[in-house]
Structure 1
Amino acid sequence: MTSIRGILPAPVSDARPAERHSGHLHRYASTLLSTSDRWVAEPTPTLNVSLPFRRGSFASLAEALDYAARGETGLNFFDARGQLLSSLSYRRLRFEAQSFARRLISAGFGAGERLVIVADTWPGFCVAFFGCQYAGVVPVPVPVPVGLGAKAHYIFQLRRQILSSQALGILAPDELIDFARSAAEDTTARHAGGMAVFDAFPEAKVDLRPLGAGLPCYVQFSSGSTRAPLGVDIRQDQLMANIDGSITAQGLDEYDSGVSWLPLYHDMGLIGFVLAPMCAQRSVDLLAPRDFARRPMQWLSLISRRRATITYSPSFGYDLLTRRAQTGPVGELDLSCVRLAGVGADMIQLPVLRRFADAFQAAGFDERAFMPSYGMAEVCVGLSFSAPFGGARTDSFTDPQSGRTREFVICGRVMAGHTVEIRAEDGTPLGERHIGRLFVRGPSVMPGYFQKNDESAGVLRDGWLDTGDLGYWHKGELVITGRAKDLIIVNGRNIWPQDIEWAVEALPQVGRGDACAFSIDNGDAESVVVIVQAYPSEPAERETLVGDIRQAVKEAVGVDGRVVLIKRQPGLPRTSSGKLSRAHARSKFAAGDYST
């Protein structure tokens, strides 16, 4: 398996992913062996012996790491076989980050300048990211390559991100050095390469200049693929407010620890399982997305072995594990330790969660651990959370136009200090159980997109952020129904693309995540198009499948749809966070990229 829902990177060399990843980590380990205590062969503990637990309330990431470094907890990196590759205590992370910071300063990185960092799951990324914090340099985490044969496109995207951020340098894992150097040609990035390039800078005896309150923190590029990259300007104040709010909403305490396979270039992986745990002095075990792709059950195995209490995933991660449970060692797992199994990053599918709970009930998993949530990079990450250990709850909503009823997962209460309005098209706030567009204001809302004034003005007005999402209120809690730009309107009827996609994916010939629905303007009216990532070899089988899909669409939403079958390579377009990009699929269809 090379990728799952687009969030999991494929190999970029002939070596097997785990071999390349572990080899790179061990090469990094060798750079840490210059003193006897710089490499630890055991994972960091859950509990700090002497450091009092503090639930956030720091002014900056550097201040938070200064505090966490006084304890014993930290980050642990595991491979696809569940073997510990490296551990990085917060104490060691601070030491290495400050050394890296002095090297950046001596190399001429000025305060406020940017460093692009390819955010693979390895200790070097964390050292560089926090090194920037201490050097006054703004890190720009970017994705690893996704999909086979993606080198040219990846270099193109990487180059656009360098140009957009006007970065002075780019740091990449060893296996991606050539990509980074190619992308950096004829740009502002005069330093490009692996950790060895930056280790070669002299560590001058200079004063650190940490990014403090009111200053930038990092640039988080949006995951859109049909436009020039937009970098969310994440500031220290906004990030710390969001982390404090999420820690409180999730009820973190000194006994919690986490396990994650989420990519560190995505807000849920970076903030949820590196930055926020550090601000709460929690240990986290990290599995690279590529290794999760190879051995998905290792995610749950790590939770079981390490007695982790917190994890998170989009719906498709839980769905994948449910399918693997049919042949996997469920009886060897003990998931009774999990008190928070977060769900987010995409529309939450209740049937997926129910199947997962049924499949792993024998392993001790309690479905009350599910915590549906909602958020976006423009508010750092999370905005609303369900109650801890409250499980996934739903509301049945009847569309007043069609009379059809569907279940939506309730995404909880808005984080303290934030205000959400659900507005009609004329801007009027709507009451209970009326679908409208979500607007939010509060301490987590971004000041704007990095050096993109027009784009910022398009979503920010009078302190309110237009999220672009649709939803409604249910007894003081948010229910998200989809993206406004993805809503299909046929003959005045609102049709949710997920209803079509999930109906098609229920067919035995179609896999989860293999359908994409959108509408096109044919001149007289809107019509529905369904792109399906399935292509039987025999023409008769393809014809039968097309007929089955049309029937499924008809039964689900009562309209006829145009069906296009495509092969898995290159497959459906996805964002860097793994979300289906319906807008990109629509553009490709309009351009004739999909055969009909």
Structure 2
Amino acid sequence: MTLGDANMTGSHSMDKIALAPTPTYDDLPRRLSDFATLGEALDYAATGQRGLNFHDARGNLARPYSFAELRGDAIACAHRLIAHGVKPADRIALVAETGADFAQLFFGIVYAGAWPVPLPLPTSFGGKESYIDQLVVQLTSCDPSLFLFPAELAEMAGEAAALRSVEGIAFEDFIAREAASCALPQAKTDEIAYLQYSSGSTRFPHGVAVTHHALLSNLSAHSHGMKLQDSDRCISWLPWYHDMGLVGCFLSVVANQVSTDYMKTEDFARRPLAWLDLISRNEGTSISYSPTFGYDICARRMSSQTKASDRFDLSRWRLAGNGADMIRPDVMQSFVDAYAEAGFSPNAFLPSYGLAEATLAVTIMPPGEGIVVELVAETDLSGADDGEGRPQRFRSIVNCGKPAKDMIVEIRDEDGAMIGERQIGKVWTTGPSLMVGYFRDSEATDACMVDGWLDTGDMGYLSDGYLYIVGRAKDMIIINGKNHWPQDIEWAVEQLPGFKQGDIAAFAITTPGGEETPAVLVHCRTSDNDERSRLRDQIRERVRAITGMNCVVELVPPRTLPRTSSGKLSRSKARNLYLNGDIRPYDIAA
């Protein structure tokens, strides 16, 4: 049964019966992103039969959307934008909802010569005010001439637009306008294609400026690295405001002419096994990516009393990509244990490493090699002395593959000098996929880009040409594929009465169960145990309200948190002191 056939059963209306997905196979010769601009890539894809396919919460096909239809709609949107006064290099912010409206508007902005700026959807935590605040900060950063959003978000998005004095229009209203034909600007390959906000900070947003050339170079490297074949079809639930979803599972499938089946991220969250249903119904070979937590959710949902083979056929899942957060081999093994009988092969796993500042992919595991793990001593990872008499501990480090086509990776020490094989240091990369820089933030750009090289802020080592990522040198905390700046957590606690900047240090730790979680150390000036207990609970609830995360809260004596020579809080040193037991939190009775 094909994806289309699966939607033709039951007592559906004639309209529903008529729906058929765009084909996996096509007579159009495949081109692997060898285009000068993104618009040129869609122009070519539109001459074939493939396209995008949007599914409802139960996995039923709701709208097939061929690349030809997408191109026609996008050009009409470009005409509307130009008639509206949009000019080349204008930024157009738009909420990245997975669907045909966002797709045509994104490409319409590109055809109009402006820069689309995808912004996030609201999350299930934080509430209305938190989402409005996030939009306001990002609108301030990108300074758009127009803000587009789905009608159901009109209240929140409209308020954010009003606070920034930006014109806001609902997707549906803008698309309904007349589209008078006009000449479109001719994009150049070295011009900016879009701005991508690296997920994470709401207070200190960094808009990554990506050129057409950088984008197409990375998409070409991605398709060559995956050894794309005619039978491949992409299935995705990843959000389009994250680089892996936007670049890897939306722009890439256009530039490489791959039919794709989508379910919305919120639908995956409610019914994660519907993702595996979509993969099972694909008669071709499947490519589908997920952060570690996606595989974890699906492994946990499969009951030990249920046979996976009764519902799923994962034997044609050719590439099960892993990325966006630290890859946990124990979770991957649990997924294999749950779904091997449904035909899933561990060799399908495709670890990779990348970041928005390099467009997307930096390294990719050669297909078929699966997950390769090395054990590394914790003392090597932290640089800390294990001391006499302490048992040595090891951590499993996952091989993230070889540098993608045209990308170069080096490992350097703190002084920027290259270091040898299997020595842990900073991961640096260069190649045609690098960003131009952070939009209107030369200071942040200069802090991570030197002589055409990007300091990724991550730690790792090279072994036989493969990259192993061991952690982050920068302070980013990544939980369930989402980045969190420690400054945001610290700021949240600072808003409580009695705290000030420098009283709080936030960083990530690994629990005994192998899960990453944020830890928050807070200077405490009260000696009353009941008050300490109340304070700890208040801080925990505050962090959860702002970030949606549960965290470990430790109250520590005043003047405990270490500082750099310039007087700044040193989170990395605080983390090492805490893990080594040199920072001793107060004991608080339960």
**TM-score (normalizing by structure 2):** 0.78
Q: Which moved more, 1:179-188 or 1:229-238?
A: 179-188
Name the SS for the 1:63 alignment partner: helix
Whether 1:390 and 2:369 are equivalent positions in the alignment is: yes
Letter in 1 for 2:258: R
* The one of 453, 456, 472 aligned to 2:445: 456
How many Å separate the matches in 2 of 1:228 and 1:328? Answer: 46
Residue of 42, 47, 50 corresponding to 2:25 = 47
Distance (Å, rounded) in 2 between the aligned partners of 1:233 and 1:140: 10
Q: Distance in 1 between matches of 2:88 and 2:424?
A: 45
Aligned to 2:558: none
Q: 1:134 deviation in Å?
A: 0.8
**How far off is 1:40 after superposition?**
7.2
- In the superposition, relative to structure 1, how do residues 384 and 518 fare at CA in structure 2: closer, same or farther (>3 Å)? farther
Aligned to 1:208: 184
Instruction: Identify the match of residue 151 of structure 1 among 128, 140, 145.
Output: 128
Match of 1:516 among 497, 507, 518: 518
d(CA) in 2 for partners of 1:370 and 1:179? 39
Aligned to 2:428, the other structure's residue is in SS state strand
Deviation of residue 201 (structure 1)? 4.0
Matched, 1:362 2:344: no
Once residues 377 and 93 of structure 1 are traced to their aligned partners in structure 2, the CA distance between those partners, rounded to angstroms, is: 25
Local SS of the residue matching 2:460: strand
Code of the aligned partner of 1:163: T
- With over 3 angstroms needed to count, the CA separation of the structure-2 counterparts of 1:579 and 1:188, relative to structure 1, is farther
Partner of 2:504: none
The sequence identity of aligned pairs, in percent, is 40
Q: 2:547 aligns with which of 566, 573, 579?
A: 573
Counterpart of 1:451 in structure 2: which amino acid?
R
* One-letter amino acid of the structure 2 residue matched with residue 155 of structure 1: I
Return 463-472 or 302-311, whichever deviates more: 302-311
3-state SS of 1:309 partner: strand
In structure 2, C-alpha distance between the alignment counterparts of 1:520 and 1:424, rounded to whole Å: 31
- Structure 1 residues 176-210: Cα deviation after superposition (integer angstroms, max 9, x where no partner): 112221111153522x1212331354422210124
The whole-number CA distance in structure 2 between the counterparts of 1:382 and 1:517 is 29
Separation of aligned partners in 1, 2:160 and 2:436: 29
Matches within 5 A, 1:291-370: 291-307=267-283, 308-326=285-303, 330=308, 331-370=310-349
Looking at structure 2, the residues matched to 332 and 42 of structure 1 have their Cα atoms a distance apart, in angstroms, of 22
> Quick check: 1:486–1:518 contact (8 Å CA) kept in 2?
no
Select 1:421's aligned residue among 410, 415, 418.
410
Q: What is the match of residue 397 of structure 2?
A: 408
- State the distance in 2 between where 1:96 and 1:479 align: 43
Partners in 2 of 1:252 and 1:390 — Cα distance?
16
Task: State the SS of the aligned residue for 1:406.
Answer: strand
| Alignment check: 8 A CA contact 1:133 1:210 kept | no
Aligned to 1:431: 420
How far, CA to CA, are the matches of 2:414 and 2:328 in structure 1? 27
What letter is aligned with 1:517?
Answer: A
Q: For residue 23 of structure 2, what is the amino acid of its counterpart? A: P
Partner residue, 1:501: 510
> What stretches of structure 1 of length at least 5 have no aligned partner?
1-35, 489-496, 507-511, 524-538, 544-561, 588-594
Moved more, 365-374 or 449-458: 449-458
Q: Deviations over 1:200-255 (max 9, x none)?
A: 54422210124331111100012232632110001101111100101100111221
Matched AA of 1:385: I
Instruction: Confirm whether residue 465 of structure 1 aligns to residue 427 of structure 2.
Output: no
Quickly say closer, same or farther: Cα 1:213–1:188, change in 2 above 3 A.
farther
- Give the match's secondary structure for 1:218: strand
CA contact (8 A) 1:166 1:188 kept: no
The 3-state SS of whatever aligns with 1:247 is: helix
Please report how far the alpha carbon of residue 567 of structure 1 lies from its aligned counterpart in structure 2 after TM superposition: 5.5
Which sits farther off after the overlay, 401-410 or 273-282? Answer: 401-410
What's the CA shift for 1:147? 2.1
Q: How far did residue 127 of structure 1 move?
A: 0.5
345 and 179 in structure 1: CA distance in 2 versus 1, 3 angstrom threshold: same
Whichever residue aligns with residue 429 of structure 1, its letter is M
AA in 1 matched with 2:441? K
Report the 3-state secondary structure (helix = DSSP H, G, I; strand = E; otherwise coil) of the residue aligned with 1:469.
strand
Counterparts of 1:288 and 1:457, CA distance in 2: 37
SS across alignment from 1:432: coil
Paired with 2:39 and 2:147, the residues of 1 have a C-alpha distance of 22
Shift of the 387–572 alpha-carbon distance from structure 1 to 2, 3 Å rule, reads farther
Aligned to 2:489: none
Residue 23 of structure 1 aligns with which residue? Answer: none
Q: Distance in 1 between matches of 2:471 and 2:273?
A: 30
**Is the Cα contact below 8 Å between 1:297 and 1:328 reproduced in 2?**
no
Instruction: Choose 173-182 or 196-205, whichever is displaced more.
Output: 196-205
Instruction: Give aligned pairs, total.
Output: 494
Q: Is the 8 A contact 1:71 1:91 kept in 2?
A: yes
Q: SS state of the match for residue 45, structure 1? A: coil
Structure 1: distance between partners of 2:355 and 2:395: 24
Identify which of 173, 198, 203 aligns with 1:197.
173
Structure 1, 241-250 or 300-309: larger mean CA deviation: 300-309
Q: Is the 8 A contact 2:543 2:551 kept in 1?
A: no
Matched position secondary structure for 1:257: strand
> Aligned AA for 1:386?
M
TM-score (norm 1): 0.77
Of stretches 391-400 and 432-441 in structure 1, the one that deviates more from structure 2 is 391-400
Partner SS, residue 367 of structure 2: coil
The AA in structure 2 aligned to 1:130 is F
Whole-angstrom distance in 1 between the partners of 2:348 and 2:71: 33
Match of 2:374, as an amino acid?
D
DSSP-derived class of the 2:438 partner: coil
Match of 1:196, SS state, is: helix
Distance 1:226 1:140 in 2: 15
Alignment partner of 1:570: what SS? helix
The letter of the residue matching 1:471 is: G
Residues 126 and 548, structure 2, Cα contact 8 Å, conserved in 1: no
Instruction: State how far apart, in whole Å, the 1-side matches of 2:145 and 2:401 are.
Output: 41
Contact 1:180 1:193 (8 Å CA) reproduced: no
Structure 1 partner of 2:156: 179
What whole-Å deviation, never above 9, does each CA across 1:551-595 have from its counterpart, x for those lacking one?
A: xxxxxxxxxxx99994698368379xx999xx9x999xxxxxxx9
Superimposed CA distance per residue, residues 309-364 of structure 1 (whole angstroms, 9 cap, x where no aligned partner) = 10000101000000001166622100001110000101100000011011100100
Deviates more, 1:448-457 or 1:315-324: 448-457
Q: Give CA-to-partner distance per residue, 1:21-44, whole Å, 9 cap, x none.
A: xxxxxxxxxxxxxxx9xx972111
Q: Which one-letter code corresponds to 1:170 in the other structure? A: F
C-alpha distance in 1 between matches for 2:240 and 2:125: 20
User: In 2, are the aligned partners of 1:40 and 1:86 still within 8 Å (CA)?
Assistant: no
